[in-house]
């Protein structure tokens, strides 16, 4: 009798749960947002689609459905592609949409209180010094020389690959090049990542692994349990962060010794931060200097290298764009001198800040790449108070609101019927580059937090792309699969393997 009653209770409970789930799902039959389950929200669907997260989120947007709500147990996240909402979040109501304490907490082991992971006075302090230095002509000239030298090293590596007829992972080479550049410009350190032997880079591997693990925290309601138990990805994260901390500590110690030796000629960013400390004692602790270093690395290494990788991918599919860039480069160089330079060094020497500024087609081709493949595919803020977005979306205090450059670049209502076509000409009028509103083309963010290194990034990308396409042709290795990897940024999951041949 007792067994029968227990069995009946189990059956009734199962029926009640099934009915609850059925009604829950039934109420969502007309929803345009990701479907949810009782208690779990959309955690299950998010986990299943994490490997293709950006395309999954994009699939919910329509021209008449520009804000998508994702409900997971830890929070509600609103993703938007509406430029009016983007302007509201990033400028008009900026104070109500900070990065937020939770975001800072989740990425704190990695980015600390650096410029990309802080708010309020801490953020203002980092941005004030960085803003002053990025406007410094000495830093611009120093950067131009560093970018030129690093691009030359890459040319020689590719020349060897072309002679040996062996494919290369161009994304790896770009990452090495930009790591060398940001360490030189940012910290006055030469790593030699692009030396002929292509050395192993423990710091770079640790940096990429931490980057990849941190982003999963934003969609995993149970990451704190894993961290407390020191298991899985959280255990790996702890180990890799230790490697990052050792690297940055060595850089800071080395720079401090040089500055104590009265070497005041250094114009790298870290030296300027440390010099600012001398004028305003105690402004930046060693921990804050460490945070500044890692924030500069993700800004100066990852974003430019990723964009260059997607750019080469695009011109491999559209080789006429590479030919157009070659013709533009040849025209610019020949207009300076009647004798065309043939060596890497001769051509690179002519690539000045002013010369590159006249290359409007190349600028358009890189910008078109950023439209379709932004290195930061989405960026989230948190609502400090209840709010209503311009499109009528009701946001509660504590909700996360993210604008989505990846999806925005694919919206027909923003870019027209040919939205998925790679077309640099859409940015040109009578051969002159025409910028779009940063609230429509949001790859560099907008408002008070707009990217300080935008001009520097374009400078390096144009320097590198112009030289590469002047001397080489690229073809993707047959059967090589190109797809993004989901991290805080958007690199290619399998690298970019290409065959290189002289032009």
Binding residues for heme: 451
Question: Residue 376 in 3-state DSSP?
Answer: coil
- Residue 147 CA to residue 121 CA, distance in Å, equals 33
3-state secondary structure (DSSP) of residue 169: strand
Give the sign of the dihedral formed by CA 439, CA 444, CA 445, CA 447.
negative
3-state secondary structure 92-139: HCHHHCCCCHHHHHHCHHHHCCCCCCCCHHHHHHHHHHHHHHHCCHHH
Residue 200: Cβ-neighbour burial (10 angstroms; 0-12, 13-18, 19+): exposed
User: Annotated binding site, which residues?
Assistant: 451
As a residue count, the chain comes to 503
Residue 133 near residue 139, CB atoms below 8 Å? yes
Cα(51)–Cα(144) distance, rounded to whole angstroms?
Answer: 37
> Which three-class secondary structure state does DSSP give residue 249?
helix
User: Residue 85: which of 68, 62, 60, 102 has the closest Cα?
Assistant: 68
CB count, 10 Å around CB of 121? Answer: 8
């Amino acid at each position: 009798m007792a067994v029968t009653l227990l069995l009946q209770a189990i059956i009734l409970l199962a029926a009640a749960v099934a009915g609850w789930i059925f009604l829950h799902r039934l109420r969502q039959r007309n929803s345009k947002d990701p479907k949810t389950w009782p208690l779990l929200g959309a955690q299950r669907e998010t986990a299943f689609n994490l490997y293709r997260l950006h395309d999954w989120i994009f699939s919910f947007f329509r021209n008449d459905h520009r804000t998508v709500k994702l409900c997971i147990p830890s929070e509600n996240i609103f993703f938007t592609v509406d430029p009016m909402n983007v302007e509201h979040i990033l400028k008009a109501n900026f104070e109500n949409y900070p990065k937020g304490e939770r975001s800072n907490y989740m990425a704190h082991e990695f980015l600390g209180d650096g410029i990309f992971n802080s708010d309020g006075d801490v953020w203002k302090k980092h941005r004030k010094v960085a803003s002053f230095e990025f406007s410094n002509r000495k830093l611009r000239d120093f950067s131009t020389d560093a970018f030129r030298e690093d691009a030359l090293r890459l040319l020689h590596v590719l020349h060897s690959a072309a002679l040996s007829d062996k494919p290369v992972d161009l994304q790896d080479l770009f990452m090495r090049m930009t790591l060398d550049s940001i360490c030189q410009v940012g910290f006055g350190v030469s790593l030699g990542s692009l030396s002929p032997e292509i050395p192993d880079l423990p710091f770079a591997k640790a940096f990429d692994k931490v980057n990849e693990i941190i982003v999963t925290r934003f969609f995993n309601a149970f990451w704190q349990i894993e961290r407390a138990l020191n298991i899985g990805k959280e255990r790996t994260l702890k180990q890799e962060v230790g490697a990052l901390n050792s690297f940055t500590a060595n850089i800071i110690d080395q720079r401090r010794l040089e500055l104590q030796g009265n070497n005041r000629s250094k114009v790298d960013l870290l030296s300027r931060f440390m010099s600012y400390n001398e004028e305003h004692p105690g402004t930046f602790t060693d921990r804050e200097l460490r945070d500044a270093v890692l924030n500069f690395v993700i800004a100066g290494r990852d974003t430019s290298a990723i964009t260059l990788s997607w750019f080469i991918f695009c011109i491999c599919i559209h080789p006429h764009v590479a030919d157009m860039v070659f013709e533009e480069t040849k025209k610019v160089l020949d207009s300076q001198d009647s004798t065309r330079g043939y060596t890497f060094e001769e051509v690179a020497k002519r690539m000045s800040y002013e010369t590159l500024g006249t290359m409007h087609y190349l600028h358009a081709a890189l910008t078109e790449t950023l439209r379709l493949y932004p290195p930061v595919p989405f960026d989230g803020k948190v609502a400090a108070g209840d709010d209503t977005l311009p499109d009528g979306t009701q946001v509660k205090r504590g909700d996360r609101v993210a604008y989505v450059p990846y999806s925005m670049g694919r919206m027909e209502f923003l870019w027209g019927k040919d939205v998925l076509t790679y077309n640099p000409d859409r940015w040109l009028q009578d051969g002159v580059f025409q910028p779009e509103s940063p609230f429509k083309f949001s790859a560099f963010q907008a408002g008070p937090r707009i990217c300080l290194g935008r001009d520097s990034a374009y400078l390096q990308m144009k320097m590198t792309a112009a030289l590469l396409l002047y001397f080489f042709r690229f073809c993707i290795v047959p059967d090589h699969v190109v797809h993004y990897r989901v991290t805080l940024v958007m690199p290619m999951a399998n690298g970019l393997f290409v065959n290189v041949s002289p032009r």
